[in-house]
Amino acid sequence: MTRPDLHDRILAQRQQRVALARQRTRRTVNRRDGVRVEVEGRWLTEFSSNDYLGLAQQFEVTNALQDAAAREGTGAGASHLVSGHHAAHDGLERDIADWLGYPRALLFGSGFLANLAVQQALLEDGDVCVQDRLNHASLLDATRLAGAKLRRYPHLDPEGALRQLKLQPDGAAMLATDGVFSMDGDTAPLRALSLVARMQQALFFVDDAHGVGVRGPEGRGSVAEARMGVADVPLQLVTLGKALGGYGAVVVGEETLIQHLAETARPYIYTTALPPALAAATRVAVKHARRDQWRREKLQSLVDRFRSGAQRAGLQLMASESPIQPVLCGSDGNALALAAALDSAGYLVPAIRPPTVPDGKARLRVTLSALHSPQDVDGLVDTLARSWDAVQRVHGAVA
């Protein structure tokens, strides 16, 4: 027997990525000051962060982190079920459950872990999870790792979800969707999907990583914006690293479901709890996200300003009213050239290429923050328009 050599395999895969200009590189941020970041000795205006409300460096949030670290240290010391569940964790779970109007919440180390935990704890062999085709990778991978059948429906298509569920009449079923989609910035038809789930006796699970803090009354997210609650969406995921500016995730839901996760979910049981200081800081961020309506109002005004300016400039946008504003470029080469031109002009907006997005749909993923000024947005739009004209002359128009 001759086994494949892993070094040969990864070398061939690397050569293929280079040939397609799809290799990934990291750029180190040396310093950050609001929406300004220092990268490789140059200060750039960043339009690529998920810090939508500008809370990551808010002074009360960072003070809470420092104060709690001075008292509690840098780590939790153990997993939640051993001795790592601190008062700050408990308080954060209660605060988020109260904010979103759910009976109970459970804290996880990341959104990826939380999505895996939900599906591994609830689904078994023979069960099915039906998902939007553009769901986040963590939802899709979680189904595969849980051992359940993964079935995908066309983007934003409740009838497609219904067809997939009808094709799988045996076993338990879950219907899972992003609330706001991370690459397109559009919103799932939650009310229609909830009806499909109810008709097919499927548990409806919404990952609202990019909606909570930004959408709905008091920033309660896409579910609240759709005038829905725990009766319609029994489980919902909230990440702490987007609008709340921190790190980690929380699953909110029915009491019995959350208790089951706490007792059986491997990504919860077998990992060290988040640092208590980080939980303490996030509690302050939740307070601001809930109270500071001006942040959402300013953010939405910037979104509207960007869209109107970009449309006047002839840039190709997508149907997004969220802070995620994709600028379609077509080919990978177009996207890379446009990102490089923006970088030279002082803007950080990385190119997004396959396999993160479909072939022929390479883009710049512009993200807006309440910390941006109208002048920041106008400058970006002007630079985008000029740079796009130059890219088209060299590389060709968008596909």
CA distances from 91 to 104, 237, 268, 292, 380 (A): 12, 18, 18, 20, 40
Q: Is 393 among the annotated ligand-binding positions?
A: no
Burial 269-280 (b: 16+ CB within 10 A, else e): bebebbbbbbbb
Report the C-alpha gap between 280 and 73 in whole angstroms: 12
Q: Is 239 among the annotated ligand-binding positions?
A: yes
Helices (H), the chain: 6-19, 59-72, 87-100, 111-122, 137-146, 158-166, 190-199, 222-225, 255-264, 266-269, 276-291, 293-312, 332-344, 374-395
Pairing label, strands 149-153, 128-132: parallel
The backbone torsions φ and ψ at residue 397, rounded to the nearest 5 degrees and listed phi first, read -75, 165
Q: Is 79 among the annotated ligand-binding positions?
A: no
Q: Is 111 among the annotated ligand-binding positions?
A: yes
Q: Is 136 among the annotated ligand-binding positions?
A: yes
What amino acid is encoded at 303 in this protein? V
Q: Is 210 among the annotated ligand-binding positions?
A: yes
Asked if 115 and 207 touch (Cβ cutoff 8 Å), the reply is: yes
Q: Half-sphere exposure of residue 290, counting CA atoms within 13 Å on the CB side? A: 13
Helix %, strand %, coil % for the chain, to 5?
45, 20, 35
> ∠ CA 293-49-210 to the nearest 5 degrees?
55
Which residues make up each annotated binding site for substrate? 24, 136, 356
* Sequence ranges of the binding site for pyridoxal 5'-phosphate: 111-112, 182, 210, 239
Residues at the binding site are 24, 111-112, 136, 182, 210, 239, 356
